[in-house]
Amino acid sequence: MDFEADIINAGAEIVWVLEQTNLLQPGTADNCRSWMDYIGSTDGTCVGDSQTQPTAGTFDNSPFSIARGFDMIVVRDTMEIVWVTNHGTPSGNENLDGAAVLAQVQAVVAGL
C-alpha cells in the first residue's frame, strides 16, 4: 500500500479492523490478514471484530462504523481519540486517500 511506510515513519501504528468478510461472515484476525496480504499490505496489525474482548463487535457497534470503514488516530499515552474519518460506499463518507490520512498523522504527531 502506498502510504503505509510513510504513516509508520511519521510515528503512527496501523491497525486494520475487519468487521466482516465479503461473504458477511464475522471478521477474524486471520481473515483480516489474508485480505490485507491479498491487497498488498505489508504493514499493520489485524484485528477481527468478532474476536474483540470482552464484547465481540466493539468496532461494528461504535459510532464511527455505521456500515462503513473508518480511520482513527489515538494518542498512545492517553488513548484519547484525536481524529476520525470514515470511508466506504454509504453517502456522507469522507473517503480520504492515503495522502490526506498521512497529513493528519503528521499534524497529530507534530502537536504531541
21 touches 49 (CB < 8 A): no
State the pTM of this model. 0.76
Res 22: pLDDT: 83
Question: What is the Cα gyration radius of the chain?
Answer: 14
Domain count, the chain: 1
Phi, psi of 7 (to 5 degrees): -65, -45
Nearest-CA neighbor of 68 among 91, 48, 50, 96? 91
Domain limits at 16? 4-110
Q: What is the pLDDT of residues 44-72, one digit of tens each?
A: 889 999 999 999 999 888 887 766 678 88
Q: What is the pLDDT of residues 16-38, one digit of tens each?
A: 888 888 888 889 999 999 988 99
**Distance between CA 109 and CA 112 in Å, rounded?**
5
